[in-house]
């Protein structure tokens, strides 16, 4: 008789335990679904804010606006990809600023003046040639930076797609 009661109690405990583990698994699934939905909302908010920066024509200002976008709630993979994208825009802004400075009126006047003085003094300096070389170097860097901006944004989109935010290509 005691053995029968003990067996019944053990059976009841197994049923309760199985129900609790089923409830725990369901709770874990609900929590995971809620976390994924929250991540999707955060990613969409970042992509929307990023799209709004497209109207900013000054590259430095655009990179600054992108840097200010709040990544709170985004999955780490997305945040890392987006921060790399912002870094690409910041490098692009540095190159654009260097080109603007190199091609400024003041720089052109200094280059022409230095060339005239070099010629008058018989110095072998070539300020105009140096200016042109630097312009070509910066132009090549500008193209590399544009490629990096595209590449890093493709990575941002790939992570967003992995989280179900963007449709497949």
Using CB atoms within 10 A of its CB, is residue 26 exposed (0-12), middle (13-18) or buried (19+)?
exposed
Per domain, the residue ranges of the chain are 2-162
Map 17-79 to HEC letters.
Answer: HHHHHHHHHHHHHHHHHHHHHHHHHHHHHHHHHHHHHHHCCCHHHHHHHHHCCCCCCCCHHHH
Residue-level pLDDT, tens digit, the chain, 169 residues:
444 343 334 344 444 444 455 567 788 888 777 888 889 999 999 999 999 999 999 999 999 999 999 999 999 999 999 999 999 999 999 999 888 887 766 656 555 655 555 555 557 656 666 777 887 887 888 999 999 999 999 999 999 999 999 755 4
Q: How far apart are CA 113 and CA 19, in angstroms?
A: 87
């Amino acid at each position: 008789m005691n053995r029968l009661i003990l067996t019944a109690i053990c059976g009841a405990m197994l049923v309760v335990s199985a129900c609790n583990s089923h409830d725990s698994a369901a709770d874990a699934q609900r929590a995971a679904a809620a976390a994924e939905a929250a991540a999707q909302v955060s990613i969409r908010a970042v992509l929307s804010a990023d799209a709004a920066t497209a109207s900013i024509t000054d590259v430095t200002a655009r990179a600054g606006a992108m840097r200010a976008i709040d990544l709170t709630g985004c999955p780490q993979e997305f945040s890392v990809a987006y921060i790399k994208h912002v870094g690409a825009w910041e490098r692009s802004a540095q190159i654009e600023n260097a080109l603007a400075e190199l091609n400024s009126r003041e720089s052109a006047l200094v280059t022409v003046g230095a060339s005239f003085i070099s010629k008058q003094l018989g110095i072998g300096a070539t300020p105009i040639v140096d200016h042109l070389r630097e312009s070509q170097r910066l132009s090549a860097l500008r193209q590399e930076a544009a490629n990096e901006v595209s590449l890093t944004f493709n990575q941002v989109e790939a992570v967003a797609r992995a989280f179900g935010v963007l449709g497949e290509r």
